[in-house]
Structure 1
Amino acid sequence: MVERLLEENNHNQEENSTEYALTPEEEQKLISLAETIIKNWEVTVNSVEVIQGGQMAIVWKIHTIEGPICLKRIHRPEKKALFSINAQNYLALKGMRVPGIIPNKNGILYTKHGPFLFVVYEWIEGRPFELTVQEDLEFIMKGLAEFHTASIGYRPPEGVPIFTKLGRWPNHYIKRCQQMETWKLLAKSLPDDPFSKLYLAEADFFIKEGRDTLKRLLESEYLDWVGTVKGMPNLCHQDYGTGNSLLGDDGQIWVIDLDTVSFDLPIRDLRKMIIPLLDTTGVWNDDQFNVMINAYESVSPLTEKQKEIMFIDMLFPYELYDVIRERYVRKSPLMENELAEAFEYERIKSGALNQLIK
């Protein structure tokens, strides 16, 4: 609910620089920066356009005599950036539909300027997917499956650390349950706040649900699957959705913005894609759920045991956790009814997923 809206807002900002309301002076500074950086590449520049500004990650459209290219300032720490840059280059060279990286004059995939890495990509023309349209929904899920399959075999170059979440889900569950307990103390300090009153009245049930989910995960074949995948891991995008995928003018699915990739079970991306999308209507949409799973499996089938692990992970109250964090950590002025909706969605979701696990 809130997570989905925030993600959509961030993606819209990335796609539309006017969201940042840059002043003319700020825009000119970014253009000047791009003009300085792009000199490290063998291109003839006609003009520079700021596509995304105002955040750590900055994107420019560089118009050259040979057509547009994309210049991006990576917002991740250098070691994580190198893992993702090399992963994207691996996928592009393998034929996966991700924007190819254009090396600089020295044949290097990036240029370092100050503390940041700058990368130049092919410019991809296309449109975002409309997830209320079944055909688009199927397309985007097939694209995710293709991404997972194509990424198997990637190994970062020597000296570049491996970023992986394989085997770490139990720790993530424990940490989130502990945080939800801690937020109860914060809620108690706000006795006149309706949001906090409701949280205190309902929180224990969902914290227990989170701990029960941990127990079920450890009793499943999760650790066995992790052990198998470690030998030949696939990448997870970690932020896959309408903001980071395109239906290209060539009719092909393109996956973009790979800055957050890491090794993990592929179902992590499915959970992060499916659960927020279903959290929009107040009911569990079996048809939409099945369309997404079936489209993914048409490219990359999952075993029954693997799907059981996915359903267990989906049980964890991630959406509720994000709503509470939004209020108590990010200090967003969320109202009591928004928390009530999150509680209700978790109940609906739990009922549907428990039926699937049975």
Structure 2
Amino acid sequence: MGRREKRRRSGFRRVLNQYGVLQSIADAYDLRILHAERRRRVFRVNTSQGWKKIKQFKYSQAELAYVHGVLEHLAGKGWRRTVPLNLTRDGLPYVETPEGLFYMSAWIQGEEINSEDPFHLEMAAKVIGEMHRLLQDYKAPENCQRSFPTHWQAKYTGQAEDLERYRQQAEGARKGKFGRRFWKVADDFIRLMGIGLQLLDEAGYGQLSQVSDFVTVCHTSPTTGNLILGSDGKIYIIDFDNARTDLRIYDLGKMLLRHSGWDVDKAVFIIRSYQEANPLTREEISLLPGLCAFPTKGWQVARSFFEEGKVHMGRLEKAIGELARQEAFVKALAQISPTDLCYQPEQLFQT
């Protein structure tokens, strides 16, 4: 048998495996699959009950129960900017297969938001702010680690230590083109980590992290791919797979990192828009410069190489290319008084 035929058969074998998994999932939900197509990490499926999304959940059942509870809490309050998980005929929000846990939900027809469109940014920030407000009274299950806020300083100190270890590995061994390139800039990544940790400390993160009024459920990944402009013109939030309890300012910081393009004016616009739905205190806002300082992309791509042996040269160059702009952005944001960024609308935004 030639190599080409082997590749064809192995490729078709993967298709058959996926087909079998999808069929078992459809059976669990008592529906028929009419058409299925893969889109990135999810399946878009036309079924006897309409268009659905099927996605593998790569974490534990306890964590999926947390996510399910969050979505049910929002649905129970009549919020329609996300969709709950469908239940199987056995009343479960997931299907357990040999490939892992899978869940199903309605497919939201629409397109990713455009971060350059002020309308999209404003509405996305408002919707996230409203979501945070509605989830502040969510009673998270105590048997799940996601129910407790991450300690940022411990988290980012660990990432800084990782970067130092990777730097030493790149220096002390032949790591090819990627390793040599990383070694030249590792100190810049580590220095920016130090700036972030110092800013968090100066802003009193340790004390603020204990204030329950500042804590809610965060999506943690408000990317363009997870913020959908629906065909009805409304903004929807999808993929709560990584949702967890944390300070609400965490999601806002992630929005700045993902959507500001290191433009301070755009960052101020996002901060103001968020507060149309969920006003912040000056103490919370003072955490934003530190939160935006961490070179997470650099740490991620380095970890992927040194821990998993995966080479992503383009991602490394992109992370390096953002260092100077990111540092300038953090310094500019830190120079704005948090009091000047606070905003109290006459009436809270509601969808």
Provide the TM-score with structure 1 as the length reference: 0.78
In the TM superposition, what are the counterparts of 1:163-178 in structure 2 within 5 Å?
163-164=146-147, 166=149, 168-178=151-161
Question: Which residue of structure 2 lines up, in the alignment, with residue 305 of structure 1?
Answer: 283
Question: Which residue of structure 2 lines up, in the alignment, with residue 353 of structure 1?
Answer: 333
Give 3-state SS (helix, strand or coil) of 2:170's partner. helix
Give how far 1:118 is off: 2.9
Give how far 1:346 is off: 3.4
Give, in whole Å, the separation in 2 of the partners of 1:224 and 1:141.
Answer: 26
Give, in whole Å, the separation in 1 of the partners of 2:117 and 2:304.
Answer: 30
Whichever residue aligns with residue 245 of structure 1, its letter is: L
Whichever residue aligns with residue 37 of structure 1, its letter is: I
Give, in whole Å, the separation in 1 of the partners of 2:282 and 2:51.
Answer: 45
**CA 1:119/1:333 → structure 2, altered by over 3 Å: closer, same or farther?**
closer
Contact 1:237 1:262 in 2 (8 A): yes
Give how far 1:337 is off: 6.0
Whichever residue aligns with residue 78 of structure 1, its letter is: Q
User: Is it true that 1:315 corresponds to 2:293 in the alignment?
Assistant: yes
Give, in whole Å, the separation in 2 of the partners of 1:335 and 1:144.
Answer: 28
Whichever residue aligns with residue 257 of structure 1, its letter is: D
In the TM superposition, what are the counterparts of 1:168-247 in structure 2 within 5 Å?
168-189=151-172, 203-204=186-187, 207-229=190-212, 233-247=215-229
Whichever residue aligns with residue 169 of structure 2, its letter is: L
Give, in whole Å, the separation in 2 of the partners of 1:248 and 1:298.
Answer: 21
Question: Which residue of structure 2 lines up, in the alignment, with residue 39 of structure 1?
Answer: 27
Give how far 1:296 is off: 1.1
Give how far 1:58 is off: 4.5
Whichever residue aligns with residue 119 of structure 1, its letter is: Y
Give how far 1:245 is off: 1.9
Give 3-state SS (helix, strand or coil) of 2:236's partner. strand
2:38 counterpart (48, 51, 57) = 51
Give, in whole Å, the separation in 1 of the partners of 2:207 and 2:316.
Answer: 41
Give, in whole Å, the separation in 2 of the partners of 1:190 and 1:357.
Answer: 46
In the TM superposition, what are the counterparts of 1:1-358 in structure 2 within 5 Å?
23=11, 25-43=13-31, 45=32, 47-52=34-39, 58-64=42-48, 66-96=49-79, 97-114=81-98, 116-157=100-141, 160-164=143-147, 166=149, 168-189=151-172, 203-204=186-187, 207-229=190-212, 233-279=215-261, 284-322=262-300, 324-325=302-303, 328-329=306-307, 330-334=310-314, 338=318, 340-356=320-336
Give, in whole Å, the separation in 2 of the partners of 1:192 and 1:41.
Answer: 49
Give 3-state SS (helix, strand or coil) of 1:50's partner. strand
Give CA deviations for 1:145-181 in whole Å, capped at 9, x if unaligned. 12222222222457x4241462510101211221222
**CA 1:108/1:77 → structure 2, altered by over 3 Å: closer, same or farther?**
closer
Give CA deviations for 1:217-243 in whole Å, capped at 9, x if unaligned. 2342323332222x7841111111211
Give CA deviations for 1:58-94 in whole Å, capped at 9, x if unaligned. 4341421x42233333222222222212222222232
Query: RMSD of the alignment, in Å?
Result: 3.2
Give, in whole Å, the separation in 1 of the partners of 2:53 and 2:196.
Answer: 43
**CA 1:286/1:213 → structure 2, altered by over 3 Å: closer, same or farther?**
closer
Give 3-state SS (helix, strand or coil) of 2:286's partner. helix
Give, in whole Å, the separation in 1 of the partners of 2:24 and 2:68.
Answer: 21
Contact 1:70 1:120 in 2 (8 A): yes
Contact 2:192 2:327 in 1 (8 A): no
Give 3-state SS (helix, strand or coil) of 2:27's partner. helix
Whichever residue aligns with residue 250 of structure 1, its letter is: D
Contact 1:142 1:299 in 2 (8 A): yes
Give how far 1:23 is off: 4.6
Whichever residue aligns with residue 226 of structure 2, its letter is: N
Provide the TM-score with structure 2 as the length reference: 0.79
Give, in whole Å, the separation in 2 of the partners of 1:192 and 1:70.
Answer: 41
Give CA deviations for 1:87-127 in whole Å, capped at 9, x if unaligned. 22222232222112222222332332346333231232122
**CA 1:36/1:196 → structure 2, altered by over 3 Å: closer, same or farther?**
closer
What's the % identity of the aligned pairs? 21
Contact 2:301 2:312 in 1 (8 A): no
Whichever residue aligns with residue 117 of structure 1, its letter is: L
Give, in whole Å, the separation in 1 of the partners of 2:258 and 2:166.
Answer: 22
Of residues 34-43 and 22-31 in structure 1, the stretch that sits farther from structure 2 once superposed is: 22-31
